[in-house]
Chains A and B, each alone.
Chain A
């Protein structure tokens, strides 16, 4: 019966995708201002009419949506209109080819770093729950989680980049070009993005771990004479990680399109930047395709987390017993 569940999930995902992309089609039209005026302020009447037709401003939104959708399904993400105003431009796909891998890698590194630091920290805090150490660190973490990432980024750039002269302050180097420079170029952006996440994740984990620590099976485990570390890592962590995983999935989605400030500070020019520019310059087709990608990313990350849930908690795998 498992494939039925999978089918149901797939159907849900498709429905979500449809709703997101369709509402974006409508919302994009609600953006203030005539897109023609913005996309090609100096165009001739013919040029305007042509673009109007191409953007589907003449047809109804449903018709337009499906023509966009079929293009998307064929792998055509639309055109990024050049301001030449002749309706020509660059395929969005080729811009994505540059921006998306960067954003995915930054997201991946940020997630790995955040989790690697947040988990031990969360475990430590739960272990020391309600002691002065826990209270102090938790308060600091709360404060840290409210510092905007770009402030951390700029501070890091100045101290680590300029004063200590350890890392480059701008630019992105693809892995294939130079692996060590690739990592060096991303250390500060990833750290800037991770610090807030470490604070958030460790606090989430702390709360869940404290709840799990009250469970009978934990007392049972200690009655077996196991060490605290063993109990925390082997017995308590996994059953306490579902909130953390859910939150991580959301953050993964958010990092794809939402790291725009850090992308801007460190001149990384990833997906977030692309989307922001697309919105500002009313790149109708691009906006829609990019948003669809983000929606897909959210769905994929959630599916991944669903799979992880099952790995972490066997009850999910077999249906609750």
Chain B
């Protein structure tokens, strides 16, 4: 009789076990093959508007949908893209963009001079529906601070259906680069502009893929092939090659690795801080790694409005205390370089003199000296509080920095971890002593602008009041003279406003079944880098079985 009860329990357990086995034994469907590509990215979609600052991950998706007038080729040179030619006057004040003909947006609109003007106006904040944006800061400046459509119309006209000309009040030698800005100022169709959504949920660009769906929770973006895409492959065949591309957000680098190894995804992106995973994947014959040029500099950005880093001694102590070689190892396990100078080596800001000179150095004796100087100045011990994000990498890296500071005699502790976004936002809001994040030190004049103009961005994130520096950068901007850039960068370093730590390039890792990465030719010849500052080109990508 006792069996009665026991038997029942056994039956339940048996049924449950069977259900489990049944569900387990059903083999996982292989990753989408052939025409459907799954790409894992480590960053949530923060929006595709020009002022959003997506990293490598999101910008790839955005640039698969919408494109820029100019683009950077694999040699780091800005070349025309949606524009067929870009011409400028000798004084860099008149710029003429001639568009390619026969390019259509996903919603059927043809790309014309009028569309481009609408986009500029929108990005300038002149279209009341569209807010100002980061590249717009550069444009605002370039146009001499236009505030109305009428003023704008005097400076930008269509010279024909496909020709736009800009008349700038001051020389802007790098105006063509403003139209690339690492893939941010894309050209949307006029209708898209009117939705104000800039592709956040819907949007028509000219890119190889169009938006099929964007998850309302921003974790999944599905794109489908644009049958009327304008570029062709090297053999003159139609692009894109894949039918759909799904971008999925997987925040955990180890899980991106796992999914890739397993075949749940075809491509995934990684930062250098995923060093352990990268090194592991390098050994996996099924995977191929591509690394971008190491031109993204992770720097500490000092909050110069508050103690302790309103003191130059404190900033210098910090800068001298950091052993960058050691830090690069801790952070990236061999997947990043120590960074001493501000900006990538090819950049005019870069003071390294071809890599020989070290602009900021690790010098423990000097660090100690400045810690002492800070004490004499303020009567207080130098106490540093570093923000951390929830990732284990962040804790490790910041702990390493803390240890270095402690060796120099400063006190240091970590703030309770928050999300990566929160660290950046709190940095902007000047609620931290420092923020440690990456700045793509590309050619962008917008970048010099950060220092030269009192913009919202400056107010938010990079505030330091140094009129001399601002003036210096303003001149550099107008002359594009290397000597001037170097002069400004020297001030930046001398004051240790920013403390470079390491340089990384983005990584993308693909299964060896993936073909066509970085193979699409650019219309003016050459190619885009496989991994560039605006992501990677997926127009030619296909997955074989």
Contacts and interface: CB of A to CB of B under 8 A. Distances in A.
A267 B16 contact: no
Given A41-B428, A116-B16, A162-B262, A98 B215 contact: yes
Nearest to B217: A98
B418 to A, nearest CB: 7
Contacts of B23: 180, 183-184, 187
Interface in A222-238: 226-227, 229-230, 233-234
Interface string A38-57: 10111110010000000000
B51 A280 contact: no
A167 interface: yes
B418 A269 contact: no
B421 A169 contact: no
Given A98-B216, A98-B217, A169-B264, A42 B51 contact: yes
A169 B216 contact: no
A38 B49 contact: no
Contact of A33 (B51, B250, B261, B426): B426
A83 B52 contact: yes
A34 B460 CA distance: 11
| 7 closest cross-chain pairs (CB), A and B | A33-B429, A227-B2, A280-B422, A85-B131, A267-B250, A280-B419, A269-B219
Nearest to A47: B131
A277 B44 contact: yes
Interface stretch (A66-74, A86-94, A287-295): A86-94
B201 interface: yes
Contacts of B125: 44
B240 to A, nearest CB: 24
B254 A154 contact: yes
Interface string A172-200: 00000000110110010000000000000
Given A267-B219, A269-B219, 16 more contacts: A37-B429, A40-B131, A42-B51, A42-B132, A47-B131, A84-B131, A86-B129, A94-B216, A95-B216, A157-B258, A169-B259, A169-B264, A170-B248, A170-B250, A233-B9, A281-B421
Contacts of B132: 42-44
B217 A167 contact: no
B378 interface: no
Given A98-B215, A266-B255, A165 B49 contact: no
Contacts of B47: 82-84
Interface string B425-446: 1101101000000000000000
28 contacts: A37-B428, A38-B429, A41-B428, A42-B132, A42-B133, A82-B200, A83-B51, A84-B130, A86-B129, A86-B130, A88-B196, A95-B216, A154-B254, A157-B255, A161-B262, A167-B28, A168-B259, A180-B22, A180-B23, A187-B20, A187-B24, A264-B252, A265-B255, A266-B255, A267-B219, A277-B419, A279-B422, A281-B421
Contacts of A136: none
Interface string A93-106: 01101110000000
A303 B382 CA distance: 54
B544 interface: no
A6 to B, nearest CB: 34
Contacts of A184: 23-24, 26, 28
A34 B429 contact: yes
Contacts of A162: 258, 261-262
Interface string A1-45: 000000000000000000000000000000011100110111110
Nearest to A269: B219
A157 B28 CA distance: 14
A180 B26 contact: yes
A187 B87 CA distance: 60
Interface residues of A, number: 61
B46 A83 contact: yes
Q: How large is the interface on B (under 10, 10 to 19, 20 to 34, 35 or more residues)?
A: 35 or more
A43 to B, nearest CB: 6
Contact of A41 (B198, B217, B250, B456): B456
Given A169-B259, A266-B255, A277-B44, A230 B216 contact: no
A133 interface: no
Interface string B237-276: 0000000000011111011101101101100000000000
A274 interface: yes
Contacts of A230: 2, 5
Nearest to B31: A168
A41 B255 contact: no
Interface in A77-136: 82-86, 88, 90, 94-95, 97-99, 116, 120
A99 B220 CA distance: 13
A234 B258 contact: no
B117 to A, nearest CB: 20
Contacts of B252: 154, 264-265, 267
A158 interface: yes
A219 interface: no
B217 A95 contact: yes
A281 B425 contact: yes
B165 to A, nearest CB: 27
Contact of B426 (A32, A97, A181, A234): A32
Interface in B43-75: 44, 46-47, 49, 51-52
Contacts of B426: 32-33
B6 interface: yes
Interface string B212-240: 00011101000000000000000000000
Contacts of B39: none
B306 interface: no
Contacts of B9: 120, 233
A32 B24 CA distance: 47
B431 A37 contact: no
A158 B258 contact: yes
B321 interface: no
B27 to A, nearest CB: 9
Nearest to A165: B262
B482 interface: no
Interface in A266-320: 266-267, 269, 273-274, 276-277, 279-282
A166 interface: yes
B339 interface: no
B330 interface: no
Contacts of A229: 2, 5-6
Interface string B449-477: 00000001100110000000000000000
A289 to B, nearest CB: 15
Interface in B29-46: 29, 40, 44, 46
B127 to A, nearest CB: 11
B456 A154 contact: no
Contact of A99 (B22, B131, B217): B217
Interface in A249-274: 264-267, 269, 273-274
A111 to B, nearest CB: 15
Contacts of B133: 42
A84 B198 contact: yes
A266 B40 CA distance: 12
A32 B215 CA distance: 30
A184 B20 CA distance: 9
Contact of A83 (B49, B216, B217): B49
A276 B216 contact: no
A162 to B, nearest CB: 5
Contacts of B249: 267, 269
Contacts of B259: 168-170
